[in-house]
Structure 1
Amino acid sequence: MPGLMSNLDIMKEADAFPYEDTEPEASKTLNKTLYTLVWKDGQPLGFMLDTVLKELLATPEKVRGPVLVDEAKRTVRAFELPTAEERTKLVAGLMAYWREHGTFDILRGWRDELWPVFGSDDEVLYSVERSGTGLLGLMRYGVHMTAYVKDPTASYGMKILVAQRAANKSTYPNMLDNSVAGGLMTGEDPFECIIREADEEANIPEELMRERAKFKGMVRYIYITDERAGGEAGQIYPEMQWVYDIEIPTDFTATPKDGEVAGFWLWTVDEVREKLAQGRFKPNCALILVDFFIRHNIITPENEPDYDQIVRRLHRRLPFPGPHQVGVPTT
């Protein structure tokens, strides 16, 4: 059937930032539109579009603070106040100003959630309103969990819990997700975050989560937004996700709780793969499911000719500091 996505197509949609060694022309073209947001010592923090830099420079300096642009290196230095609290306040004022003036559509999805910006692997330089992180091209951190039940009558002996996003969500409405996911706020522990999200989205009890949810590693990729993300297309989203699995009891039924999920289904692996091929899943949720299938020996080097490329895109090397450079969490 024409138009179906391969596993590699699925990965390329989620990990869309071109690789310099294998996609040199696309990489060169994109980099002409980008500036690197750096810290004082030159440490990269994010990839900022030239259109965003233009608006940053057009914003009164009393709002955005001093900004230093090196056109030769295509770097930007900003928000370099003495303390994390002062930097966070400055960035918050900038985002509020842009929101008030309707500068960027993405800020209409304001979340009142602060996400961390790391200057080293464990130091938070400042925090940024969640909906504005993409404008600065900053690292984004989250948690994803795939729930499944054992079923010897189903293909591969399991069924997977799939969520459908609510029709009124500002991002990717009506698309499919893996079971539970959410963003990591400043200072939040990943495991505590997935417990919170499991309760809020699927009504999974904390006791069940602590007993059965298992950390399975990290994935790293760079997404480039389209209109489904609820704002300006083309924003750069470097992301790292802590990944969890949970085997849920056969008599447990997930139920929507906070309004972000329209409903849940238990689908066979073949049903999930069909929907993946049709492009029905939110791109990074599709990536999480490909990772799940690799870890459960459903996708293997023997049955997937693009296996090595897929694995590379699941664990992309990123130039930005943060916990993704350290290793796995202790929880």
Structure 2
Amino acid sequence: MSTTTTTSSSLYQVVADLDNFPYPTANDDDNPILQNYHAFRITGIPQTLGYIPNELITTFPWPADTWAINTTPTNKTITLLTSPTATASTRTAILLPTLQQLASHGILRGWRNETFPLYGPDGTIILEIERAASALFGIVTYGVQMLCYTDDKVSNTPHLWIAKRSSLKPTYPGMLDTTAAGGLSTGLPPREAIMREASEEAEIQEELMRKGMRFVDRISYFHVKKESVGGIGMVELLQPEVEYLYELRLGKEVVPSPADSEVEDFRLCGVKEVKKALGEGRFKPNSAVVVVDFLLRRGLLDGNDEDERIRVRLHRELPLPVVDHEGGRV
């Protein structure tokens, strides 16, 4: 019987499969893939804020009083028309009717009544956008993830509390996941967000988290996802994302427990078992890279040059405005 060893090389591929937006030779403005998108901009803000697929630009009737579209091959842009000094709430109100029309056309699906913040170059929120629309506009989104672990005195390595997603989940059903995770909605600091998720998903006590939870890393990646968009067909959506990572060491007496229908169960997994699951593609992709980051920081990979390639790839510099909610603290 043959056995498969999960090496740093194969774990690098796990990261590369998620961070699959092509790396440019100079800068992302010269990247050939961006010919398939219009740069999303807002009046008065000089920097590109996202990328909208050309198919969406040509298929949807963008209201002319709200949007200016430039189809020049070397400068394809779509600009939200607002006063240069407009407030975030004003821009949000101007954008909302377009989002509602995208939904009525069947293009924007899964409306959640939850907003993500869009940040400008100065780090301030310039508008809020319905979470379900973020991928259509190709903006940077933020998430939080936590890994709970125990110290195994026999193997002298940590054991991770891994969640198995419900088979009824619409996204990545039945796949493995971190202990708790979620998107970072408008107005919610990362620490509060992950504590809420861990309480709701794993029944971990808030007092325990406030005492022992640690912020350990901020990773970033640029994902290209092929997705069926209503009325258009298969489209490659751009999903640049930043994830804030937290850890919590649990005693043997603390066992995470599913608190809702989103998680089927939690299992305590050793490093070897976790690596095997990563190599077999059993983890939700953006949770897989969080586990890889954990193994890397703990010195549990191969300790060769490939480890450094993984470290660099986990911290991609994004060509869009990014804020650091944790102030660089690690």
Q: TM-score range by the shorter chain?
A: 0.7 to 0.9
Q: How far apart are the structure 1 equivalents of 2:112 and 2:91?
A: 19
Alignment of 1:60-99 (within 5 A): 60-61=63-64, 65-69=66-70, 71=72, 72-81=74-83, 82-99=86-103
Aligned with 2:222: secondary structure?
Answer: strand
Q: TM-score, normalised by structure 2?
A: 0.88
C-alpha displacement of 1:229: 11
Alignment of 1:1-331 (within 5 A): 6-21=10-25, 28-39=31-42, 40-56=44-60, 58-61=61-64, 65-69=66-70, 71=72, 72-81=74-83, 82-104=86-108, 107=109, 109-154=110-155, 156-226=156-226, 234-302=236-304, 305-324=305-324, 327-328=327-328
Higher share of residues assigned helix: 1
Q: How far apart are the structure 2 equivalents of 1:228 and 1:164?
A: 26
Aligned with 2:46: secondary structure?
Answer: coil
Higher share of residues assigned strand: 2
C-alpha displacement of 1:233: 5.1
Which structure 2 segments of 5+ residues have no match? none
Q: How far apart are the structure 1 equivalents of 2:135 and 2:5?
A: 30
C-alpha displacement of 1:326: 8.4
Change (3 A) 1:325 1:67: farther
Answer whether contact 2:150 2:249 (CA < 8 A) is retained.
yes
Q: Deviations over 1:212-232 (max 9, x none)?
A: 110012001111124599995
Which AA in structure 2 matches 1:213? M
C-alpha displacement of 1:163: 0.8
Change (3 A) 1:61 1:289: same
Q: How far apart are the structure 2 equivalents of 1:203 and 1:266?
A: 16
Answer whether contact 1:162 1:176 (CA < 8 A) is retained.
yes
Which structure 1 segments of 5+ residues have no match? none
Answer whether contact 1:47 1:138 (CA < 8 A) is retained.
yes
Which AA in structure 2 matches 1:258? D
Over the aligned positions, Cα root-mean-square deviation in angstroms equals 2.8
Answer whether contact 1:175 1:282 (CA < 8 A) is retained.
yes
Q: Deviations over 1:72-93 (max 9, x none)?
A: 3222211535221122123232
Give the count of matched residue pairs: 319
Aligned with 2:324: secondary structure?
Answer: helix
* More displaced 10-residue stretch of structure 1: 41-50 or 72-81: 72-81
Aligned with 1:235: secondary structure?
Answer: strand
Aligned with 1:120: secondary structure?
Answer: coil
C-alpha displacement of 1:284: 1.0
